């Protein structure tokens, strides 16, 4: 039996006086006061966005794009095989067509055959389109060889990316990335689709100054914000003020009935109500269906859905994406079970706690699903995880996806492995929480060397307490706040997401009823503060994995207050995040931690 990581409850410290958030209800003001020191960040209008002019390289990029638009030069948008890359590709293709450019295509490399980014092979695969200009989106910052290969072939390259840059930038005609050295843009958290959208805004602005729209209607690029919102949330970048504006504006367009046909179709097949959509629906509903195309087949399918202007055609593609997602779930469930068995075996072999970093591989694992497996195992055991699959092109070579926990920068960990074992990693890239890599040499020897070096690197980088599971909460809700009005206010009070999390509350509650559903994995509950309060509904997903099984009696619960829509009736509902014996859950001061071990 693998020991469960220590669970710590952390009450969020107050960063600002709640009364400074004027116009917000008291409960929402309390939430904002623990997430921001700037009351101005409640302003989510487009006018509050920083200017595109602040992005380094934006002028050179727009100049080159405008030259291509005016001469109808062939542009190929080189995307990536995830949701961020797909939405960024669709944003650029739609915008360029709206500018009047009729010679734009897109290309996404085959994951298994060409790998990630603008590789020389990817450039060669685009040759038949005879592009004069390649525009990368959500990739390219680490593609020095591919950019050089394109330039040697007489093809200019504009790189737009958001990933951390290497020491030497690729030799592109222009590079737009808020994380490149010397860039003054205030938001370093833009997703790839956000960077692409900003480039299109700057290009429209420059075309306007040159009188381009005297002869044709000027496009409203706000029509692309549903795509920007989806890609931003799905890529799990921090929702700083800029990203929250982009996401909120995209959500508002969808709720108002202005979603593009592709987004509307994805909403329909995922069972999401467009008028009630929130940011989490992107992450759990739409994003996985788009990503399934890139994981199991080709992201071309997903991009075609996002580019379609025919609702019937878009729904046909979305239905196919939904089927791919169901297949991906089956594959992922099998791989997750095998991965958990490997973790248990590792623990048994060590005869102690788990190693600080987990390295997993099994024959037959799908290369497009190992990232999901790494994420689930990371969540389950609260350790950085690298999951590997065999490279379909080279026998014995392994490709991996890495996922990390707060406090341990996974790209830095891979860089340290590269320093400890020169030549072991053929290539790698990513950011703090996720990365990808390819091992040089054949398994199992390369895998064993990597496992040892990775564990050592994680141990060196881990700060004290990194492997203790932390659950940050906003403290208790008062009984009168546990209402439908409060639930609605919190649901739409965001947008919530990475770096700006949805409120979680905690405190002792009495469980009056328990009903097990979903093959006995989930628990439907009725809870209340005391006998003077009518019970309300609660749901604990995967309740069998909680520290304490929900049963009648008083428990210390951490929960979200949400709205449950069922048969046309809306009710408040608690979504339980953890359940602890109340005797272990002593009151803690804001900003302090309380530990619990099941």
Distance CA 291, CA 562 (A): 27
Residue 3: is its pLDDT beyond 60?
no
Q: pLDDT band at residue 64, thresholds of 50, 70 and 90?
A: very high
Q: Any idea which of 43-52, 101-110, 484-493, 561-570 has the lowest mean pLDDT?
A: 561-570
In a domain, 28, yes or no: no
We report the CATH number of the domain holding residue 269 as 3.90.1640.30
Quick one: 423 and 533 in the same domain?
no
In a domain, 347, yes or no: no
Residue with tokens 């272990």: 584
Quick one: 458 and 571 in the same domain?
no
Whole-model pTM: value is 0.89
Q: Which residue has the higher pLDDT, 163 or 246?
A: 246
- Residue 591: per-residue pLDDT: 42
Mode of pairing for the β-strands spanning 385-390 and 358-361: parallel
Q: Give which of 581, 576, 560, 563 is closest to 526, Cα–Cα.
A: 576
- Residue 360: per-residue pLDDT: 94
Quick one: 318 and 362 in the same domain?
no
Quick one: 319 and 406 in the same domain?
no
Q: pLDDT band at residue 246, thresholds of 50, 70 and 90?
A: very high
Quick one: 100 and 197 in the same domain?
yes
- Residue 441: per-residue pLDDT: 72
Quick one: 72 and 116 in the same domain?
yes
Residue 598: is its pLDDT beyond 60?
no
Quick one: 437 and 488 in the same domain?
no
Three-state SS across 245-287?
Answer: HHHHHHHHHHHCCCCCHHHHHHHHHHCCCHHHCCHHHHHHHHH
In a domain, 41, yes or no: no
Which CA distances in Å does 522 have to 56, 138, 281? 49, 37, 20
Percent of the chain past pLDDT 70, that is, above it, reads 95
Mean pLDDT of all residues in 30-57:
93
Mode of pairing for the β-strands spanning 133-137 and 104-107: unpaired
In a domain, 425, yes or no: yes
Residue 139: is its pLDDT beyond 90?
yes
H/E segment holding residue 403:
strand 398-403
We report the CATH number of the domain holding residue 456 as 3.10.310.30
Residue 220: is its pLDDT beyond 60?
yes
Quick one: 319 and 358 in the same domain?
no
Q: What angle do CA 365, 381, 552 make, to 5 degrees?
A: 120
Residue 415: is its pLDDT beyond 80?
yes
Residue 191: is its pLDDT beyond 80?
yes
- Residue 238: per-residue pLDDT: 92
Distance CA 116, CA 485 (A): 46
Q: Helix or strand or coil: residue 175? A: strand
Mean pLDDT of all residues in 20-32:
92
In a domain, 208, yes or no: yes
- Residue 213: per-residue pLDDT: 95
Q: Any idea which of 218-232, 244-258, 558-572, 579-593 has the lowest mean pLDDT?
A: 579-593
- Residue 473: per-residue pLDDT: 95
Residue 346: is its pLDDT beyond 50?
yes
Note the pLDDT tens digit of each residue in 494-530: 999 989 999 999 999 999 999 999 888 899 999 998 8
The answer to whether the CB of 480 falls within 8 A of the CB of 264 is: no
Mean pLDDT of all residues in 98-115:
88
Quick one: 259 and 393 in the same domain?
no
Which CA distances in Å does 443 have to 427, 439, 589? 16, 9, 51
- Residue 547: per-residue pLDDT: 78
Note the pLDDT tens digit of each residue in 192-209: 999 999 999 999 999 999
Mean pLDDT of all residues in 374-401:
88
Percent of the chain past pLDDT 90, that is, above it, reads 73
Quick one: 201 and 288 in the same domain?
yes
Residue after which a domain boundary falls, among 468, 495, 511: 468
Residue 430: is its pLDDT beyond 90?
no
Mode of pairing for the β-strands spanning 536-540 and 522-528: antiparallel
Sorted by sequence, the CB contacts under 8 Å of residue 221 that are 6+ apart come out as 95, 98, 197, 200, 201, 204
H/E segment holding residue 125:
helix 120-125
- Residue 383: per-residue pLDDT: 92
- Domain span including residue 181: 51-323
The answer to whether the CB of 241 falls within 8 A of the CB of 39 is: no
Residue after which a domain boundary falls, among 418, 433, 468: 468
H/E segment holding residue 441:
none
Q: pLDDT band at residue 7, thresholds of 50, 70 and 90?
A: confident
Q: Which two tokens stand for residue 149?
A: 């290969």
Q: Any idea which of 82-91, 172-181, 576-585 has the lowest mean pLDDT?
A: 576-585
In a domain, 388, yes or no: yes
Mean pLDDT of all residues in 231-240:
94
- Residue 38: per-residue pLDDT: 87
Residue after which a domain boundary falls, among 323, 341, 371: 323
Count the domains in the chain.
Answer: 3
Quick one: 288 and 386 in the same domain?
no
Residue 301: is its pLDDT beyond 50?
yes
Quick one: 432 and 562 in the same domain?
no
Q: Which residue has the higher pLDDT, 4 or 392?
A: 392
Mean pLDDT of all residues in 566-583:
87
Using the CB atoms, write b or e for 50-62: b if 16+ within 10 Å. Answer: bebeebbbbeebb
Residue 314: is its pLDDT beyond 80?
yes
Q: Any idea which of 212-221, 267-276, 454-463, 544-553 has the lowest mean pLDDT?
A: 544-553
Which CA distances in Å does 447 have to 112, 346, 396, 425? 19, 14, 10, 10
In a domain, 137, yes or no: yes
Q: Any idea which of 146-160, 264-278, 376-390, 420-434 has the lowest mean pLDDT?
A: 420-434
Complete edge-to-edge strand list for the sheet that includes strand 133-137 = 104-107, 75-78, 133-137, 156-160, 174-176
Residue 216: is its pLDDT beyond 50?
yes
- Residue 546: per-residue pLDDT: 82
Q: Which residue has the higher pLDDT, 182 or 543?
A: 182
Return phi, psi of residue 17, to 5°. -75, 120
Sorted by sequence, the CB contacts under 8 Å of residue 306 that are 6+ apart come out as 86, 87, 89, 90, 227, 260, 262, 263, 290
We report the CATH number of the domain holding residue 580 as 2.40.50.460
- Residue 233: per-residue pLDDT: 96
Return phi, psi of residue 504, to 5°. -120, 135
Mean pLDDT of all residues in 444-454:
90
In a domain, 331, yes or no: no
- How many angstroms from the chain centroid is the CA of residue 80? 14
């Amino acid at each position: 039996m693998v020991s469960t990581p220590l669970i710590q409850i952390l009450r969020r410290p107050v960063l600002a006086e709640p009364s400074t958030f004027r116009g917000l209800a008291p409960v929402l003001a309390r939430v904002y006061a623990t997430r921001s020191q700037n009351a101005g960040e409640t302003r989510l209008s487009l006018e509050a966005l920083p200017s595109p002019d602040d992005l380094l390289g934006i002028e050179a990029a727009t100049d080159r794009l405008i030259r291509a638009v005016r001469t109808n030069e062939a542009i190929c948008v080189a995307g990536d095989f995830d949701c961020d890359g797909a939405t960024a590709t669709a944003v650029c293709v739609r915008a360029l067509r709206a500018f009047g450019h009729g010679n734009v295509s897109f290309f996404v490399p085959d994951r298994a055959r060409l790998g990630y980014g603008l590789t020389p092979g990817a450039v060669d695969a685009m040759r038949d389109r005879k592009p004069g200009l390649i525009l990368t989106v959500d990739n390219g910052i680490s593609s020095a060889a591919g950019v050089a290969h394109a330039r040697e072939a007489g093809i200019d390259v504009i790189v737009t990316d958001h990933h951390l840059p290497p020491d030497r930038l690729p030799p592109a005609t222009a590079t737009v990335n808020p994380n490149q050295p010397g860039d003054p843009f205030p938001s370093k958290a833009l997703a790839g689709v956000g960077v692409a959208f900003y480039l299109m805004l700057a290009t429209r602005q420059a075309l306007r100054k040159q009188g381009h729209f005297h002869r044709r209607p000027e496009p409203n690029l706000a029509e692309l914000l549903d795509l920007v919102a989806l890609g931003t949330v799905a890529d799990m970048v921090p929702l700083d003020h800029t990203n929250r504006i982009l996401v909120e504006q995209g959500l508002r367009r969808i709720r108002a009935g202005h979603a593009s046909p592709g987004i509307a179709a994805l909403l329909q097949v995922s069972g999401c109500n467009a008028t009630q959509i929130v940011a989490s629906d992107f992450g759990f509903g739409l994003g996985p269906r788009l990503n399934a195309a890139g994981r199991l087949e080709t992201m071309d399918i997903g991009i075609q859905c996002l580019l379609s202007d025919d609702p019937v055609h878009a729904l046909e593609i979305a239905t196919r994406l939904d089927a791919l997602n169901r297949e991906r779930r089956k594959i992922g469930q099998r791989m997750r079970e095998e991965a958990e068995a490997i973790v248990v075996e590792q623990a048994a072999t060590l005869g102690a706690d788990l190693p600080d970093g987990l390295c997993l591989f099994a024959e037959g694992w799908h290369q497009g699903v190992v990232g999901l497996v790494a994420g689930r195992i990371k969540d389950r055991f609260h350790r950085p995880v690298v999951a590997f699959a065999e490279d379909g092109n080279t026998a014995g070579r392994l490709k991996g996806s890495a996922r990390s926990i707060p406090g341990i920068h996974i790209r830095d960990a891979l860089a340290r492995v590269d320093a400890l074992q020169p030549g072991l990693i053929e290539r790698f890239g990513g950011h703090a929480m996720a990365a990808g890599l390819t091992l040089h040499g054949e398994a199992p020897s390369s895998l064993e060397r990597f496992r040892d070096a990775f564990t050592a690197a994680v141990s060196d980088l881990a700060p004290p307490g990194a492997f203790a599971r932390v659950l940050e909460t906003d403290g208790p809700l008062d009984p009168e706040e546990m209402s439908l009005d409060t639930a609605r206010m919190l649901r739409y009070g965001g947008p919530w997401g990475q770096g700006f999390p949805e409120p979680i509350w905690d405190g002792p509650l009495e469980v009056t009823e328990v009903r097990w559903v979903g093959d006995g994995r989930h628990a439907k509950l009725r809870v209340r503060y005391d006998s003077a309060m009518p019970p309300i509904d609660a749901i604990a997903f995967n309740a069998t994995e909680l520290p304490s099984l929900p049963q009648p009696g008083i428990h210390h619960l951490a929960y979200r207050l949400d709205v449950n829509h069922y048969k046309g009736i809306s009710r408040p509902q608690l979504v339980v995040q953890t359940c602890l014996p109340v005797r272990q859950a002593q009151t803690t001061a804001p900003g302090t931690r309380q530990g619990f071990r099941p």
